Chains A and B, each alone.
Chain A
Amino acid sequence: MWHNLRQELRPVLIITRREISDQFRDWRIMAPIIVLTVFFPALMNFTAERAVNFVAKYGADIVGDRLIPFLLMVVGFFPISISLVIALESFVGEKERRSIEPLLSTPLKDWQLYLGKLLASMAPPLLASYLGTLVYLVGVYFQVGWRPPGILLAQILTLVVVQATVMVSGAVVVSTQTTSVRAANLLASFIIIPMALLIQAESIVMFWATYSALWWIIFGQLLLAAVLVRMGIAYFNREELLGRELDVIDLSGSARVFWRYFRGQAHSLLAWYRYELPQALRRVRLPLFLMTLVLGATLLIGAGQASRFPIPTEKLQRENLQSGTIQGLEVIPLYSASGVVTVWGHNLRTMLLATLGAIFSFGILGILILMLPFMLIGYFLAVMTSAGYSPLLFFAAFVLPHGIFEIPAIVLVGAALLHLGATLMTPSQGRTLGEAWLDALATWAKILLGLVVPLLLAAALVEVLFTPQAIQWFFSI
């Protein structure tokens, strides 16, 4: 087994070695790495010393104490930012220069080439980052006598690796969808902007000195890196790399593909409902199951929050509720058609917002938005129970009437969004990423238009015309 593994990894290392030696010959890569390894940490040492002395004069030692670990993080991060440039150059640059085709003609497996380039893109910047960190730590020790706590150092060093992996794996995904370094650089803002925001969040953590939060950041980025590596392996393949020749936006072509998937074989609305919609539902069977589990777990999480954020029992009595504990309901004209439209429109907007969030987050943000009402239901179920009400009756009065329609609608949209997000991470034989994604979007549209929109209309009708009566009945018992 060990022998097989070595045999499998051998080509990976051959690729890595060649790429790294090529990087060492390129002054455009080496110059910034040297600057960020030697000069930048020395500058940070100088900055740290001056800042510590300056704030000490005003008795603000805490600022100095927080600044030194913050600069440690900055010194670690800057060199690995080069890994993004190297990765874009390595993957899409090779594609642009057409030197990738002879490489793809060798017996190399796709994953070997991917891993070889991934390692090569990360290794020199990581080495530079660690060397820079060392330079900074030695300097700061001799200047102000500061030594990092072991855990903090481990966190920073881990953070650096994880951030480099996220950037490089993101760059690979970007590079599979472009044919030129220029286009890849433009698309790279999808990596740079979130990363810049993340660094700002990390900076707050460092100044706040809640270092345990760094583990959560590391964990989150590890998950993201896993998703991006999965995507990279799925799409860094010969077919995707050489089957795609153009970067031109083809909106009408995309619309045609979408319509083809949306309409399917159906030639009438009835046929569409009879054949295409059930087919779409079959495709999201697993996401439906997962979404049901997630929303069930959300109910429990919501219920768990009741003890942390309790509502005094007396506020939940009928007379208090009428005196204005529940506010904001006046915007919904109950027992009227305009109320139905308001509720229906609100729910549809939420679904569209969830979809928008899902598109930019592999489905995650969309699912989080859909989880919110379930969190509230779980919370109020627990709160009302602790106030002495029957949870079943509460559920039957407040949720069930319109929930019969609304809950399946939420589960269906959530499943379609999970499917949409998962499509990006799944290899699609014989189709491009764009085609597979448009297919998943068509599945989402089928479910939304065919089921969710009518279900939400029914839910709005019940919620405006019947649920208020059920609530009144609940409090009159």
Chain B
Amino acid sequence: MIETFDLSKTFGDFVAVDGVHLQVRAGKVLALLGPNGAGKTTTIRMLTAILRPTRGWAKIAGEDIRTAPDLVRAKVGVLTEQHGLYGRMRTTEYLDFYGELYNLDAATRQRRIAALLERFGLSEVADRRISEFSKGMRQKLALARTLLHRPPVLLLDEPTSAMDPQSARLVRDAIHQLRSEERSIIICTHNLSEAEELADQIAIIRRGRIIAQGNPKTLKQQLLGIPEYEIQLGKGLNGHLPNLPNDVEVTGYGEIWLRYRTAHPERDNPAVLWYFLSNDMPVISLKETGGDLEQVYLRAITTVEEAAHVA
């Protein structure tokens, strides 16, 4: 469980993080999005008890970052933006060094290192020097280091950056599995489709402040309005608008397609499908149009910028 209240950090006159409230329960993933320099890394550093907050507090797995920083660090696994690997060390040696720092006994270290190397496909390079690794391999090794002490809280900064699609898929699957193991996870990423896939909650941070927060569906509704759907048909409409449920607002149509908005897609989409199928009109596809996280993100950022401009 990660909980923050009014978490703030200033460096001299510069406000890096300003009054951040977050809550990530066990088994949930929060994606922290924001432009470069928005305060993501400073927030992560405060949650790792590396930096002391100027104001507010945060609890990590029940431990206060201000009063029990050592305990917090023992319960957090951090994947930093820069991997911070020691090039002259060998893979196993490196993980063993960190295992020792986390006070794991030799047998546990050996067992977990072998399992993690297997999980991330690094077993074959167990004795290789890290300086010989590709960027993706380094990222996987850094992730293995993060998971070595089995922390209940994970803070992952750009977990799939510099990875090939196959490796990125591997890591995303690992994150899904970690969530199912009841861990609280915060991901900082610029990859919005990844955030959409992985996150239960989204928080958008800009100039140190959270400007939008919620689950992806709520955020979409808040920022983009009622979602729009497009249905592709196997047969022409012949210029006739179908008789759709009352709450469905048709926004456009062509010979074999139709767009509509509904605030209750879980109720209305099956009804729309049922209408066409029962009228012997085959449905090729039904999908949401344009309502992806990227639009949400851009809308959030521009809304705040416009407000600031007006002010």
Contact = CB atoms under 8 A, between A and B. Distances in A.
A105 B78 contact: yes
Contact of B11 (A99, A107, A238, A243): A243
A210 B82 CA distance: 55
Contacts of A109: 70
B220 to A, nearest CB: 34
Contacts of B88: 22, 25-26
Interface residues of A, number: 29
Interface string B67-93: 000110110101010111110110000
A435 B12 contact: yes
B48 interface: yes
Contacts, number: 76
Interface stretch (B95-103, B182-190, B241-249, B302-310): B95-103
Contacts of B82: 97-99, 101
Contact of B101 (A26, A101, A107): A107
Contacts of A59: none
Contacts of A435: 12
Interface string B93-123: 0000110111100000000000000000000
Contact of A102 (B51, B54, B80): B80
Given A104-B50, A242-B50, A99 B86 contact: yes
Given A107-B70, A239-B51, A97 B84 contact: yes
The binding surface of chain B is classed by DSSP as loop
Interface in A45-100: 97-100
Contact of A105 (B48, B52, B89): B48
B142 interface: yes
B84 to A, nearest CB: 4
Given A105-B78, A257-B12, A430 B84 contact: no
B45 interface: yes
A238 B54 contact: no
Given A22-B89, A98-B82, A99-B84, A242 B101 contact: no
Contact of B45 (A22, A107, A242): A242
A226 interface: no
Given A102-B80, A107-B102, A109-B70, A22 B50 contact: no
A99 B101 contact: no
A26 B86 CA distance: 12
A22 to B, nearest CB: 6
A103 interface: yes
A228 to B, nearest CB: 24
Main secondary structure of the interface of A (DSSP, over half): helix
Contacts of B101: 11, 14, 103, 106-108
A238 B45 CA distance: 10
Contacts of B80: 98, 101-102, 105
Contacts of A285: none
Contact of B142 (A11, A102, A107, A242): A102
Contacts of B103: 107
A253 B13 CA distance: 10
B224 to A, nearest CB: 36
A101 B54 contact: no
B145 interface: yes
B73 A106 contact: yes
B52 A101 contact: no
A313 B103 CA distance: 76
30 contacts: A18-B86, A22-B89, A26-B88, A97-B82, A99-B82, A99-B85, A99-B86, A101-B78, A101-B80, A102-B78, A102-B80, A103-B84, A105-B73, A105-B80, A106-B98, A107-B70, A107-B71, A107-B73, A107-B74, A107-B103, A108-B73, A238-B49, A238-B50, A238-B51, A239-B52, A242-B45, A242-B51, A243-B51, A257-B12, A430-B54
Given A102-B83, A105-B73, A107-B102, 12 more contacts: A25-B88, A98-B84, A101-B50, A102-B142, A105-B48, A105-B50, A107-B71, A107-B74, A107-B103, A238-B50, A239-B52, A243-B11
Q: Which 8 residue pairs are nearest across A and B when measured between Cβ atoms?
A: A98-B82, A99-B84, A105-B78, A102-B84, A107-B74, A106-B101, A238-B50, A25-B88
Interface of A: 11, 14, 18, 22, 25-26, 97-109, 238-239, 242-243, 253, 257, 429-430, 432, 435
